[in-house]
A and B are shown apart, each in its own frame.
Chain A
Amino acid sequence: MATKEIAGVQVELDDEGFMTNPEQWNEDIARALAAEEGITELTDKHWEIINFVRKDAKEKGQVPTIRRMNKAGGIATKDLYELFPNGPAKKAAKISGYPKPQGCV
């Protein structure tokens, strides 16, 4: 594990650059992490998803899957792929300040 300064805050990151402590997150960090992923502007639609991810992850103890975002959060899967291209579940988790979603074996 490493710490890195992002948007003026020392945050803890894992090997792949995912935050390991969601409490350290703030909106400026989200913007900086989004930029790293090539998303230059976070629109209202992005924020809607980020807010859902944070709320759901806090309640459930794990970041939501694409299917859960769709069913429980009412977020269209196509929108997710448009807003967070190439691996929306992973990217949304990262920008929302949560660790990488657990895959299955």
Chain B
Amino acid sequence: MKKLLILGAGTAGTIMANKLSQQLNLNEWHITIVDKDETHYYQPGFLFIPFQIYSRNDVIKPSRDYLPPSVEVIVSGIDIIEADKNRVKLTNNKVLTYDYLIIATGSQINPEETEGLKNGNWYKNIFEFYTLEGACHLQKFLKHWTGGKLVMNIVEMPIKCPVAPLEFLFLADWWFTEKGIRDKVDLTFVTPLPGAFTKPKASKILNSFLDKKNINLVSEFNTGSVDGENNKIISFDGKEIEYDLLVTVPTNMGDPVIERSGLGDELNFVPTNKNTLQSKQHENIFVIGDATDLPSSKAGSVAHFQADVLTENFMRHIEGLPMLEEFDGHANCFIESGFGKGLLIDFNYDVEPLPGKFPLPGIGPFSLLQETKMNHWGKMMFRWVYWNLLLKGSELPIEAQMTMAGKRL
């Protein structure tokens, strides 16, 4: 029996387990997947929790229900990957050997990386919504907040779902308006980027949305430390911004197991071939999702597109065929913009987000880089698509590679 081991049963690991259990001959292959958690989290839903749109139960399900019966599931932490010996040690002391390894351990927030950020006011007037715990704490706080200066800060790029902080602000604008206290809340977006987004066309359009919604933008601010006593964030070059409520996206890094195993870069992301998704160091290791060092967005939709490419490459590789270098960095993200509306962006390594219609050129039903009700429904439908189609590796009506059809230059 040949052994395929998948590390991480989040979005990417789950999709790969489903796809490869359908493709591989299971008389010849044994597939094992390891995760420390028995619960699968729908992370895109965390955004809605502070505003009471979703609650805890809307975003969690048992992981086992989404994994195929033929796959062996082990619930344990992963202690170390010994790539030179083709084996993995788990924290339950079990040792697993493999012929092929897929790393899908994702990325997480690390507030400890910023001086003073995790101070005595953590979860008192400093919050994050990139964990379920954080999102729930913020929900409780916002329920009774009567207003003041809210600062949304991205500490450092790259972060997963780079539009989530913007969506948070758009939703905050709507939520405080509904509560009748929008005039008592000052909303400020503080980002290390030169504008609201990484790419110029989308950035310009999103900047104008910030303007329209009366949200201040402070760009090129690289957070060096937080002064929790005086409620200030301070940049490396000494600029200061005061807050009453700080919502932060702390430094995102790969899991410490990557560092312990000597497989990562400075942020514990695994150096990966950006087209084939093979590890740059080891021929029998592949990497997918947020765990890679690719310059693509870290998003569930990206993991889905990567999974199509990786399945194909994996099947070719084990047959001794050359891999098709296919992954083009395709990302597709709905951006919730508040008041029951949303935007949509579609882009890849080389082509920035452009306006137009999607997925059917000229027809839609979704509009790219335009605020519509339909895009909002797309975002809300994404949860159903995620649990029922995406995780199972089913075909979605969107190609893995980006298309220019329907887009306006």
Chain A residues within CB distance 8 Å of chain B: 65-68, 70-72, 77-78, 80-82, 85-87, 102-105
Is B70 positioned at the interface, with any CB of A under 8 Å from its CB? no
Question: Is the pair B220, A102 in contact by a Cβ cutoff of 8 Å?
Answer: no
Kindly list chain B residues whose C-beta atoms are within 8 Å of the C-beta of A72.
Answer: 266
Q: How would you classify the secondary structure of chain B's contact residues: helix, strand, loop or mixed?
A: loop
Interchain pairs with CB closer than 8 A, number: 47
Q: A67-B266, A71-B266 are in contact. Are A81 and B157 (CB under 8 A)?
A: no
Question: Is the pair B237, A67 in contact by a Cβ cutoff of 8 Å?
Answer: no
Is B198 positioned at the interface, with any CB of A under 8 Å from its CB? yes
Across the two chains, which residue of chain A brings its CB closest to B238? Answer: A81
Kindly list chain A residues whose C-beta atoms are within 8 Å of the C-beta of B331.
Answer: 105
Question: Is the pair A105, B349 in contact by a Cβ cutoff of 8 Å?
Answer: yes
Q: Which of B145-163 contact A (CB under 8 A)?
A: 156-158, 162
A72–B402 CA distance with the chains assembled, in angstroms: 36
Question: Is the pair B224, A105 in contact by a Cβ cutoff of 8 Å?
Answer: no
Chain B contact residue count (CB 8 A cutoff): 23
Kindly list chain B residues whose C-beta atoms are within 8 Å of the C-beta of A105.
Answer: 162, 198-199, 295-297, 329, 331, 347-349, 352
Kindly list chain B residues whose C-beta atoms are within 8 Å of the C-beta of A66.
Answer: 222
Chain B residues within CB distance 8 Å of chain A: 156-158, 162, 198-199, 220, 222, 224, 236-237, 265-267, 295-297, 329, 331, 347-349, 352
A100–B265 CA distance with the chains assembled, in angstroms: 20
Question: Is the pair B265, A104 in contact by a Cβ cutoff of 8 Å?
Answer: no
Kindly list chain B residues whose C-beta atoms are within 8 Å of the C-beta of A70.
Answer: 266
CB distance from B320 to the nearest CB of A (A): 28
5 smallest A-B Cβ distances: which pairs?
A81-B236, A104-B158, A81-B237, A71-B266, A67-B266
Q: A77-B236, A81-B237, A85-B237 are in contact. Are A104 and B295 (CB under 8 A)?
A: yes
CB distance from B269 to the nearest CB of A (A): 11
A58–B157 CA distance with the chains assembled, in angstroms: 23
A102–B295 CA distance with the chains assembled, in angstroms: 8
Question: Is the pair A65, B237 in contact by a Cβ cutoff of 8 Å?
Answer: no
Kindly list chain B residues whose C-beta atoms are within 8 Å of the C-beta of A77.
Answer: 224, 236
CB distance from A63 to the nearest CB of B (A): 13
A102–B348 CA distance with the chains assembled, in angstroms: 14
